[in-house]
Amino acid sequence: MATIYDVSKKTGLSASTVVRALNGTGYCSQSSRDAILEAAHELGYVPHQAAKALKSHITQKVMLCIPDIMNPYYFAMIQGATQVLDRYGYNIILGYTMHSPKKELEVLESLKGRYVDGLIFGSFDYSPQLIQAIRDTDLPTVITSFYESAEEQDFYDCVHVNQPRAAWIATEYCLRNGHTRIAFLGGDAGEQNTRERFEGYRKALEERDIALEESLAIHADFTREGACHAFRSFLEQGGECTAVVACNDLMGVGCMNVCRDMGIRVPDDISIVSLDNTDYCLCTDPPMTSVDMMQRQVGEEAANFVMNRILEKRRFQKNMAFSPVLVVRDSVKKRN
């Protein structure tokens, strides 16, 4: 591997001149610059990243931390973030926390090794402990959820989609179509994510003076299999509803699977709305009505925000909220 010293030797110029020419920083005559650029090219010189990072504290890497790689929710986000970071010459390091708080803390701890310049962090559940761990990394960070801190914070930004509103939109759409017995299919009730979405569901019902029924809240685990199991149990135990709000597409698909297996027609017997609007919605029959959670945009803006903090050394906080958008397809029936 060629170093600046090889270029230096080849051109007869000093190493520091080589650096100045290559980085376009400081004085360098045109002729020297030309000679250096040519020599560097011939030698296939590429700066050694570790050396550069050690000296300049710039790694050109951002960690993108997500709870679940197999969840399609994150694909568009990864894609959006990747494309923006790529424009800045930045690479993504994947942090995979496997939906585990313990693993999340481990990953954050490892970040103290300073191998990234910034962090985009997605979690299902922002505990105070987690926020503290994020703060301890002392890294420009964007979290893809909204976490209001008690204190004035200036170490992280929030780029997120209004979760309660997404569930509200889905529920309200069912209500508007004449449904009143609407089941809520969510994840673990203890997690922020599910709590927020449930809140939107609750609010929509309340606004229309429809009593919340404990038994209509079904808790699964954000997977298709889990939803199948939970929704089947619900029905087998005599649960009745004319519509389901599923907290993600995977669970919406699970519902559809159960309906098909049990001979229940969608949307004639049961209507289904899910949240996420991934490509899964286009595979089902009927195509599934879903609330777009703007994942690509979240990924893009999160990347823009970290890069802004990194490059401009911005210290004050910026938050951005996207409003989710209902995408109507054919899985909801109008009742009279």
**Residue ranges binding its own copies (CB under 8 A):** 1, 44, 46-51, 53-54, 59, 61, 64, 69-70, 72, 75-76, 78-79, 82-83, 86, 91-96, 109-110, 112-115, 224, 250, 253, 256-257, 260, 279-280, 282-285
Cβ at position 279, least distance to DNA in Å: 42
CA distance 222 to 291: 16
Contact 267, 295 (CB under 8 A): no
* Binding partner of residue 207 among DNA, its own copies, none, CB cut-off 5 to 8 Å per kind: none
Angle at which helices 128-137 and 101-110 pack, to 10 degrees?
10
Q: Is 316 in the site for DNA (CB under 7 A)?
A: no
Kindly tell me which residue out of 9, 37, 43, 47 binds DNA, with binding defined by CB under 7 A. Answer: 47
CA distance 92 to 34: 33
Judged by CB under 7 A, the chain residues 2 through 31 that form the site for DNA are 3-5, 12-17, 19-20, 22-23, 25-29, 31
310 secondary structure, DSSP code: H
* Binding partner of residue 109 among DNA, its own copies, none, CB cut-off 5 to 8 Å per kind: its own copies
56 or 132: CB nearest DNA: 56
171 or 331: CB nearest its own copies: 331
89 Rama sector, left if φ>0, alpha if ψ -120 to 50, beta otherwise: left
138 or 206: CB nearest DNA: 138
Contact 76, 303 (CB under 8 A): no
Cβ at position 252, least distance to its own copies in Å: 9
For residue 207, the Cα-to-chain-centroid distance in whole angstroms is: 30
Q: Is 115 in the site for DNA (CB under 7 A)?
A: no
Q: Which helix (H) or strand (E) holds 236?
A: helix 224-236
Q: Is 311 in the site for DNA (CB under 7 A)?
A: no
55 or 315: CB nearest DNA: 55
Half-sphere exposure of 61 (CA within 13 A, CB side): 17
257 or 308: CB nearest its own copies: 257
Cβ at position 121, least distance to DNA in Å: 24
Judged by CB under 7 A, the chain residues 206 through 225 that form the site for DNA are none
In the chain the beta strands, taken as DSSP E runs, fall at: 61-66, 91-96, 118-121, 141-143, 156-161, 182-186, 217-219, 243-246, 271-276, 289-292, 319-322, 325-327
* Binding partner of residue 205 among DNA, its own copies, none, CB cut-off 5 to 8 Å per kind: none
Long-range (24+ apart) CB contacts under 8 A made by 100-107 are: 101/125, 101/127, 101/129, 101/130, 104/65, 104/130, 104/133, 105/129, 105/130, 105/133, 107/63, 107/65
Judged by DSSP in three states, 85 sits in: helix
* Binding partner of residue 280 among DNA, its own copies, none, CB cut-off 5 to 8 Å per kind: its own copies
Contact 244, 270 (CB under 8 A): yes
CB atoms closer than 10 angstroms to residue 265 = 11
* Binding partner of residue 4 among its own copies, DNA, none, CB cut-off 5 to 8 Å per kind: DNA
DSSP 166-185: HHHHHHHHHHHTT---EEEE
Cβ at position 34, least distance to DNA in Å: 11
Q: Is 56 in the site for DNA (CB under 7 A)?
A: yes
109 or 236: CB nearest its own copies: 109
Tell me the window of 50-58, 84-92, 124-132, 295-303 that interacts with DNA (CB under 7 A). Answer: 50-58
Q: Is 55 in the site for DNA (CB under 7 A)?
A: yes
Cα distances (Å, whole numbers) of residue 196 to 109, 167, 191: 28, 8, 9
Residues that bind DNA (CB under 7 A): 1, 3-5, 12-17, 19-20, 22-23, 25-29, 31-32, 45, 47-48, 51-52, 54-56
